[in-house]
Structure 1
Amino acid sequence: MQEVAKMARGRNGWFIPENTLLSLQKIAENYLNFDKLTQFLNKYPEVDAPRKVGVVMAGNVPAVGFHDALCVLLSGHKLMAKVSKDDTPLILFMLETLKKVEPNFKEEIQFVERINEADAYIATGSDNTARYFEYYFAKKPHIIRKNRNAVSIIEGDESSEVLTALGGDILTYFGLGCRNVSKLYVPAGYDFSKLYEALESKRSFYANHHKYFNNYEYNRSILLVNGTPHYDNGFLMFTESEAIISPLSVVYYESYDSLPQLIAELDTQNEKIQCIVADPEKIPGAVPFGQAQSPGLDDFADGVDTMAFLTNLE
């Protein structure tokens, strides 16, 4: 695994070995478990007529495209994988290893540059590329994913342990994932010093990664030149904004007065929110602090049930 992690780093400077190994560990724990897979698969009907499913994989987080590949194979269809150039070594290793474990998958897994021969499509990209996907795949069944991020609701009385966990939700994978928290909702007059204290242990890790720190310096200069009020601890900035998706090394925040009113407002922004990180006892359906980067098999991207889509293909 260490060798594979080095290969991933050689292709993509963001994929440091620690993050690659963390991603593989989460996949092993949350996906590749016999009981979990069986329970997951029992929710869906068997496929009578296997189809070719083209999957355009993202490459923002190590092995992020594996869940789609897993769903295609579990559903009984044939996978036509267009692997992201940023994540090629890792995905190739995982799927080639799967062929060795189960030789029958040799006929079910195909790596391609063009997927126009597929019968259905799953594609992940930016809001811009999504428009192209919608055009090219319009005549066949498809799932098209766009830009999304996680948001978090804090109430001001969180312990240092909870705030440290929130720091992981913000910074793990350098904030590049769709499940990374890019927006905080805080009580009016919230004191950010407690959150910064909880983040202090992460300083050396992020301040010494040149790609991340270059982004931090660039975005800090923009905030300073524009005279935008913000908080800054030397590697992560918070600034007030109504937007959901923030630049790397920047987290937006917005104050709220009423929790029920805030939840109602968030319901109107579903198309930009991947998940909500908060106390599940107070926010139904929320992801607990520290768990944003540990999705389960049924935590489907964009809230669209990939398996339901695949098992209902005609």
Structure 2
Amino acid sequence: MLMVAKIKNRTYFVKIMNWMLTIALILSTVIDYPSKVTAQTKQPATSEQPAQPSRDRTSLQQRRTSRPVFVWPKTPKRLSPVSGRRAGMGSRDNCPTVATALTALIPLREEQGDSKQTDKSSVGIVEGLTTSERPTFWFYVPYTKDLKASAEFSLQDSTGNDIYKDAISLPTNPSVIGVSLPSNASLQVGKTYRWYLKVRCDRQQIARVPIYVEGDIQRVNLDSGVMQKLQAAADPQQKIAIYAEEGIWFDSLTMLAQLYLSNPKDASLAANWQSLLRSVNLDNVATAPLVK
């Protein structure tokens, strides 16, 4: 009996010791936990701003200041099988020699496989798209009012019939001018039209070939995706960039020209104007003055 009692006492003693050790471990954990939490959450003071908001602001600023760059649309591949001319030839019809030729402000793609073509910088696929019923056409005109010269703009349908034809006033100084269609002339969606600007410096010699530029224009409808992007763009310069990215040349150029004419001293608009023209290799007229 004595042996049994000793065994029971030893077992009881072991249980008590285990229980006390368990309580001691629990207490030490509870006491130590707040200090660990404090150490983990305590951060040194800093004047730096969080990185993510800064990146967001930078991205927004880049979008607002991005320069418009024209991108050729995938379709239509070509509006007309007939070549165009973006720049007039040097000196014809008794016109004086000029530093920069008569130039249409429009994209040009050189025709491939034409080894006989000698004036690749001005002759090729000269065309542009618009969504406007009555777009504005833009030209750099080096010939001025003081010359005994005349200028005529004309627009023809695909059969060669004149939609519009009228005399154009020459500028006081060599500059970029716009020619807008009147209320009695308009473009229909999906149809291609041919435009011309002709300058004659000798009105008595009508039979002579004038200095001229020519190309094509087609009116199109925007798809829903592009319309949504335009509606979401609050800044007019963002809209201009969108039109350029989508290959809608005339709308992009005209919107930018109107802004620029309203704010001729705005350096950002001047930079955007030059960016758009240089994106279609019109560096030679990118800094020419723009007049109404």
Please confirm whether the aligned pair reaches a TM-score higher than 0.5, indicating the same fold: no
Normalising by structure 1, report the TM-score. 0.23
Compute the TM-score of the two structures, normalised by the length of structure 2: 0.24
